A and B are shown apart, each in its own frame.
Chain A
Amino acid sequence: MSQVCVKVGVGSCGLAAGAGDVYLKLEEYIKTQNIAIKLEKTACIGMCFEEPIIEISGLERGAITLGKISVDQVPAYMDAYISGQHIDQGVILASNQDAIHNELLANQVRIVLRNCGIINPESLADYEAREGYVALRQALSMDRLGIINTIKNSGLRGRGGAGFSTGLKWTFAYNAKNDKKYVVCNADEGDPGAFMDRSVLEGDPHSIIEGMVIGAYAMGADEGYIYCRAEYPLAIKHLKIAIAAAEQKNYLGKNILGTGYDFELHIKEGAGAFVCGEETALMASIEGKRGMPTIRPPFPAESGLWGKPTNINNVETWANIPWIIINGADAYKQYGTEKSSGTKVFALAGKIKNSGLIEVPMGITIRDVIYKVGGGMKTELPFKAVQLGGPSGGCIPASLLDTIVDYDSINKTGAIMGSGGMVVMDEGTCMVDVARFFLNFTQNESCGKCTFCRIGTRRMLEILTRITEGKGKEEDIEKLEELSVNIIKGSLCGLGQTAPNPVLTTLRYFRDEYMAHIVEKRCPAGVCTALLRYEIVSDKCIGCTACARKCPVNCISGSVKQVHSIDQDKCIKCGACYSTCKFAAITKG
């Protein structure tokens, strides 16, 4: 009999859902058994909504993955697996039987996430067992321009959001004449609602390191930095372990694999500033300064870190590199569209059933991402919009759900591909409030260098706040549009140039909702507190007094078994009565 192996997903999302206790319980269980059972840690497989997750394998019946497992269920499941009993409940993936999410993985193409949730991220041997560092050996025997041409021919575009050709970017750094060059990995994933990079850093750190060594070798750099946000402690821990292991096996350091090539890699922790995701700001931050963007040109490829030629790519871009080197440019191009090849990782969140991480080929429609892979809506309310690209992106309405996922098609909608955050919203989400939310974010995170970004975003936020409070005027919309144009024109970096996008797209697709706030003083989604009005429906109220007892300001009057009423002047619109009433006798609107 082969050995039973059990893996626990201990990424940030798993741990938050209680995977740590499940792991301890398994340790305890294994001690009581007289057969040897291997216990392993792995990271996130992407199905965050099913955490904590364990996978049991090793017997002929194949592997089964169990979701939402509680500590108490651990022994019973283990006993059942080992004794060959059929397990049905809780099984989310299985190699030899039906399981609810078998299709969820089948609908994906996993290149970047090829090892996430499968290997132990702390084990170099695990990575090597899945073609790890094979690409590096291959690349080190290749001509430098040959590597760059492979990447160019693959059509890979920067996955950080802007979508610039990676091969072309590498060519610029290659052509720069200097005895010192740097490569940098941008792991300062700051978009709220996005966690793709975190999962790859936590789940497969070696793929990023290998990609960086290959790129550095091709461009002629001998030193590199991974700039990781400090909010990701587990990612930083796994990176440190991975770098030490790679150094020991001479995949990093002096005279790599006996080829005479040297490359040194450092980790730099961020200190909390969204603007540091912008490449010139990021470099200023690595240099220990305030992370403020500078004018380009000179581009980093000519004058970057400490004035030396520097190439910066995002986590997901780097993680693609080893796969492309092994499988070739054509294999990569078989996925995706003509101008956007390969796959894209998305973080699905919000009102969607299967929230988590997925990787799909470019060219798939947004509808398929949400309804096929994402499982559709979590709530009973209908779909309203999907937010793409975080604070730099926009909201795509239901009428554009058949837009395909590629850089150019998404740009046409006014949103951007961005780094891959997809937040799904239902009819209970107010689009003016969403726009205000993002402007609040960019206004806070503006570094203050450019006047329009610093003050313009603040004025926009004030106008949006006014509208959500029912104090908006009709000319406000024109003002928002005018400010947007000027902020885009008057800002140096991507933060300012894209800050108005959430407002512009919501104005484009949900103008009626703005008008309802401004003219009718009404929030159709029932979100903006100041515009709400709670009323008691007289033929439904049975006079149970539950609402009156719950009201914190005692503004509901009426005696037992008589219809109650709300004093609108005193009402603070907290909604306590609405959620207390068991007879649907209170309306919100």
Chain B
Amino acid sequence: MKQDCSKLDTVIESYRGRKGAMIPLLQDVQALEGYLSRNTMQYVADQLRIPAAEVFGVATFYSMFRLKPQGRHVIRICKGTACHVSGANGILDALKDNLNLPEGEETTEDMNFTLLEVACLGCCSLAPVIMIDDQTFGKLTPESIPAILEKFAYDGGDQ
């Protein structure tokens, strides 16, 4: 593995010796690299002298850890109870349609959007709700989706 690991090393060092540090460590690594690649997880395990299975086990258990590269913008669609009874499924279909996402895919081909389903965003009074990056959009209808996505359209440049 030939890559610059100096930033990764700094993160690992900041947690070395601290008890119960695996989850915050992986959260920081993910914040640094965008996702947890196999190589990265192996590297973390080697540095900490623990089995890679232990790192991989934690990474696959929690839904916040991403094992694949993410789009520039992350769309979280709330599938909580209040959103479900207020038509979240229609919003999900509208998102998939507008993003041209094939079944089973989370990220658009141009890497602009990743669509994730989450249990509850806690904004139940605004149901149905989606969150794009850290902005929340509520009281949605399928018709309102294209205009919202337009705001995050990829202009072709660097992010």
Contact = CB atoms under 8 A, between A and B. Distances in A.
A291 B61 contact: yes
A265 interface: no
Contact of A349 (B27, B65, B124): B124
A233 B134 contact: yes
Contact of B125 (A15, A356, A441): A356
Given A349-B125, A437-B81, A272 B120 contact: no
Interface string B109-126: 000000000111111111
A17 B122 contact: no
A439 B146 CA distance: 31
B84 interface: yes
Contacts of B134: 233
A269 B118 contact: no
A200 to B, nearest CB: 12
A192 B19 contact: no
B127 A349 contact: yes
A40 interface: no
Interface string B79-91: 1111011100000
B19 A287 contact: yes
A423 B62 CA distance: 27
A13 B123 contact: yes
Nearest to A225: B20
Interface residues of A, number: 53
Contact of B138 (A17, A274, A289): A17
B21 interface: yes
B81 A231 contact: no
Nearest to B134: A233
Interface string B134-152: 1011100000000000000
A392 interface: no
Contact of B120 (A194, A350, A438): A194
A193 B120 contact: yes
B82 A286 contact: no
B8 interface: no
Given A273-B63, A429-B85, A288 B122 contact: no
B17 interface: no
B125 A49 contact: yes
B95 interface: no
Contacts of A425: 85
Contact of B64 (A192, A271, A288): A271
Contacts of B85: 350-351, 423, 425, 429, 434
A285 B27 CA distance: 13
Nearest to B20: A288
Given A17-B126, A287-B20, A425-B85, A231 B121 contact: yes
Given A193-B124, A198-B122, A356-B125, A290 B82 contact: no
Contacts of B79: 192, 441
A232 interface: yes
Given A192-B120, A269-B27, A271-B62, A290 B84 contact: no
Contacts of B138: 16-17
B136 A195 contact: no
Contacts of A230: 27, 64
B24 interface: yes
A12 B81 contact: no
A11 B122 CA distance: 11
A350 B57 contact: no
A192 B80 CA distance: 4
B5 interface: no
Given A192-B119, A349-B82, A434-B85, A272 B63 contact: yes
B126 A231 contact: no
Contacts of B64: 230, 271-272
A387 interface: yes
B32 interface: no
Interface string A175-208: 0000000000000011111110010000000000
A16 B126 contact: yes
A531 interface: no
A290 B58 contact: yes
Interface string A1-45: 000000000001101110000000000000000000000000000
A285 to B, nearest CB: 7
Given A350-B86, A423-B81, A437-B81, A16 B123 contact: yes
Contacts of A421: 81
B136 A12 contact: yes
B119 A350 contact: no
B123 A12 contact: yes
A369 interface: no
Contact of B24 (A48, A190, A269): A269
Interface string A335-377: 0000000000001011100011000000000000000000000
Contacts of A164: none
A288 B63 contact: no
A48 B126 contact: yes
Given A268-B23, A287-B20, A350-B86, 6 more contacts: A192-B84, A272-B63, A287-B19, A288-B23, A350-B81, A350-B85
15 contacts: A12-B123, A12-B136, A48-B126, A192-B82, A192-B119, A193-B124, A195-B122, A195-B123, A271-B23, A272-B62, A287-B19, A291-B61, A349-B81, A425-B85, A437-B81
Interface of B: 19-24, 26-27, 57-58, 61-65, 79-82, 84-86, 118-127, 129, 134, 136-138
